[in-house]
Structure 1
């Protein structure tokens, strides 16, 4: 599956709202998967200095990721394919 990064600006968000947004992304991903479009929420990174957030998902298409974020009522600025480079053990 392909990894996608969802970039969003979350000006004024509280930590409680951020946690709720993360749960909404997880639940919407699980719902999409149960309906036949396999989407996996991986993780989020929040940048408090400028209130930006990047969320990683695995999915068959950019459209599937956009649909999940819309279903979760989460705003986003951009969705793009990324390479999620994990460290390898030697």
Structure 2
């Protein structure tokens, strides 16, 4: 599986709505995995000042990550392959 970064513009989103979106992403990833499309939510980084949000997923394809976000009804600007450089 590869890592994909989802870029979002969420300026002004309340923290409870951001947390709810994160929970939907986690739940939808579990549902898709159980249905045969392996995908794993990794983490989110959010910059409240300008609303930039980056979420990382492990998946077999960019299309699967896009499908997850559509199914979970979480807006996104784009999905790109990424490197997760953990220490």
Task: Name the TM-score class by shorter chain.
Answer: over 0.9
The DSSP-based 3-state class of the residue aligned with 2:13 is coil
Tell me the equivalent position of 1:75: 75
What TM-score do the two structures reach when normalised by structure 2? 0.98
* Superposed displacement of residue 11, structure 1: 2.1
Tell me the equivalent position of 1:56: 56
Bigger CA radius of gyration = 1
What TM-score do the two structures reach when normalised by structure 1? 0.95
Task: Structure 1: state its 5+ residue gaps.
Answer: none
The DSSP-based 3-state class of the residue aligned with 2:38 is coil
* Superposed displacement of residue 49, structure 1: 1.1
Deviation digits for residues 21-60 of structure 1 (CA, Å, limit 9, x no counterpart): 0000001111100100000000000011101110000000
Alpha-carbon distance between aligned partners in 1 of 2:52 and 2:75, rounded to the nearest angstrom: 11
Greater than 6 Å deviation, 4+ residue runs: none
* Superposed displacement of residue 65, structure 1: 0.2
